[in-house]
Chains A and B, each alone.
Chain A
Amino acid sequence: MSPYMLSLLTSIAIFAILSLSLSLLIGHMGIFSMAHAALFGVGAYTYAFLSVKQDWSPLAATAAAIVLAAAAGAVMAVPALRVSGDYFIVASFALQIVASSVFSNWTSVTGGTGGIPGIVRPVFGPIDLFQDQPFLVYSFIVLLIVAALGFWLVRSPFGRMMHTIRDDEVVAATMGKPVRGTKILVTVLAGAFAGLAGVVYGQYLMYISPGSFEVATSVSIITMVVVGGMTSILGSIIGAAIITVIPPLLQEIRLAESVAGPLEQAFFGLLLVVLMFTRPQGLLADKPHRRPRSAGTQAAAQEASHVA
């Protein structure tokens, strides 16, 4: 396989983990988060800091990164329990900006805008992940594990409870479902998965900087989830593949770097707009995100439930 294909497939695997974990939040729990890149960054920075600056073993650093990103997810759950809808979009946006400032400005830990170079990849016995081929296999194994967990989760009774809470919180609470506990658990899980994606990302590039964990990254991950279909595990993987393939394709036309970056972002935005007109549920989901009640009352009912 050419190095080009290798890097493309590895990126797809990493971003598929991210979009999958975000689809748990957006599609299955109904929590629209603009802070996913922040959780991704917490994982990546924890791993990089511990493995590079504190000489932790890759395994221990990975575990710590997942725990810390899960904890960051729990922090996110605090506003998510109190507010939803438009409020939470703003709250998560605020969290994302706080995280971005921390990544750029907490120089002693994050290396500031210079980032952290020299991140080590793990070694499993004779398998040397410093080669790109084994690393591709490794990243796909991580993706498979996360996808299997996600698939099992949304099909389980717990998954059905998530959907009940997403569709109508009041009904779920009336039925005695633990609304708060479920939301916290799902944000924690999404945080852990995003943190794991961050670890693999840091290991793969062997260098991280704040530019990879900005609002624009969050928007890209959202686009992946929306393109693939918010409630489809397979869809979010395919969404990640589509969005990851676009930038290299645009590079084929050999644009200046200052043009290529914004152009691909603009393309993602256009994709969102077109998709909302043609197939708002995404490519791979066949039923709408929310069952339409009578057209006029639904929005009002949704709005009312935000503050209820």
Chain B
Amino acid sequence: MEYFVQQLVNGLTLGSIYGLIAIGYTMVYGIIGMINFAHGDIFMIGAFIALSTFLLLTTILGISFLPLVLLVVLVVSMAFTSAWGWTVERLAYRPLRGSFRLAPLITAIGMSIVLQNFVQVSQGARVKPLPPQITGGITLMEGSSANGTIQAQLSYMQIIIIATTLVLMVGFSLLISRTPLGRAQRACEQDRKMAALLGVNVDRTISLTFIMGAALASVAGLMFMLLYGVIDFYIGFLAGVKAFTAAVLGGIGSLPGAMLGGLLIGLIEVFWSAYFTVEYKDVAAFSILAIVLIFMPSGLLGKPEIEKV
């Protein structure tokens, strides 16, 4: 039981990170109908910016009050990663707006290759380790097993991750449902041409979508860095594919779907590793995706597509 609870907590933590990245995929897909393949790499960029900012603050400026450091890191990495998100859209996707749909997919894959290799060249290929910054936690349960005592622990790190995700999700839902920006975004999702005719600045709305997606991905990057303590230029690919899987699983285009999908993928991975084999955790996640899609072709929370004849 303790083991189960522990895995549940771990799964939710990982799922939160996937969910945050998945929102970026789902929003972009909702508004311009393309898979932003470079989004996983934006997450990686976010993690690197967070790492550098962290080092800048602690080693060069000598600030040691951790909550302040983390807050500044959060803000800085969100801001700078957003600039990357904006630039990618501006260079690789906007010139192809209205073009046929495979073209932006190819530029997205190209951008993904560019970002990975840019970081590899500029920051080196070696894994960057960062010692755990936030230690300790709350013991939820304690029991004994044949091998000694077994605990289910909720670390402070996990609390921070889950709480931040919750806050961002709530804030984000409000942003989409209550503000003029959110309304413009939903209008563009429905019909971009009509929205433009009615005075919505479509280009700016799309740019803002990329900026928001990148900002959320950078939060995920920061949390990934703090949780695992190691990052390299390649973390974006797998995290990106998983997060996209999560977005599709939840029903692409749906924000709650992305979060739900993220949590599910996180849980599946963690439980599969805990109870079966750690090697095949990706296979488990992808197989569940294939199975869900075969029976529910528009994902869990997606709107079913009625075939118009």
A and B associate in one complex? no
Interface residues of A (CB under 8 A from B): none
B residues at A contact (CB < 8 Å): none
